Amino acid sequence: MATKSAVVQELESPSPEATPDVSLAGRDLCSVADLTTTELAGMLALAHDVKTNPSAYRWALDAKQMVMFFEKASLRTRLTFQTAMNTLGGSALFVDQTQSPLGERESLADIARNVERWVQIIVLRTYAHETITEMAQYASVPVVNALSDLEHPCQAIADFMTLEERFGNLRGFNFTYVGDGNNVCHSLMLTAALLGAHCTVGSPKNYAPKADIVAQARAIANVTGSNITLINDPIAAMTGADAIYTDVCTSMGFEHEAMKRAPIFKPYQVNETTMALAAPSAVFMHCLPAHRNAEVTDAVLDGPQSVVFDQAENRMHAQKALLLMLLGKGQKCL
């Protein structure tokens, strides 16, 4: 993982405005903070190009193999990674770990030392973030965090790709997240900070994002010129926002808290009234699946300001860019 000092050092020596030519070959992506501003900009630029010119990358990962170990159920993450790899010319192998968590049958070190001999990249969707960092420690091939209890970097990268499509450069953009300060929230804060966007998180008391992630995001934001703001008032959080983002109030692994959380998060619902507090051109965002008429009403989720299905589509394009860069194939293969 990139250290804070490394990220700040890169931020203090910014690259030219032209599209960065960067490589992540052989690296891992355990956290958004593993990326510098230049690397994130390069990944987003590549994602836009892959989306616009898919045939140019059709065989870029010919004969490459990707394995996905998933401890959690998935629709978007699984299918977008599979379609991304397959349409780049490679193969995607899926291993269902929902009934047998990684490390239970044999050690993560032994799994890594086996798998690295057969495939070129490992994608993990886990409960414990330590499962991902430990796999990255032992595997000689790139390891990707496709969701952990701490972060969801692939989601956040696709989300900010979606915002770039709509608004262009996001420096100074007012991004608001309301709801649980969870793994998605963590990655969104870090991504906003790297891109110079202002990020406001409105969450109930005792449900704020983790303090160390907030500190990490603020250290980056101090250099990029953005702000990371945490408040408990959902109305204040949404007023004037250029984008309002929410997620379920009970993430996977916390289902036992659902009844307790429901009344606490009710004031944070995004509905037509609260959406009207945002800027006139504002968009509504959600990582899906949504609990309709819980954290967001049908009127907003299906309304004209919603870009949730654009986000879902862009998971595939952003992950194509990620795979290309980690496997050292970030150039067009005409």
Per the structure block, which two tokens stand in for 71? 């401890």
Degrees, nearest 5: CA angle 220-221-227: 155
- Please report how the helices 308-326 and 37-52 are oriented relative to each other, as an axis angle in degrees rounded to 10: 110
Count the Cβ atoms, other than its own, within 10 Å of residue 52: 9
d(CA 190, CA 184): 10
Degrees, nearest 5: CA angle 333-316-281: 115
The DSSP symbol for 191 reads H
Closest CA to 213 of 230, 225, 196: 230
CA dihedral 210, 215, 216, 220 (to 10 degrees): 140
The residues annotated with a catalytic role in the active site are 125, 152, 155, 247, 287, 315
d(CA 258, CA 188): 23
Closest CA to 314 of 130, 163, 124: 163
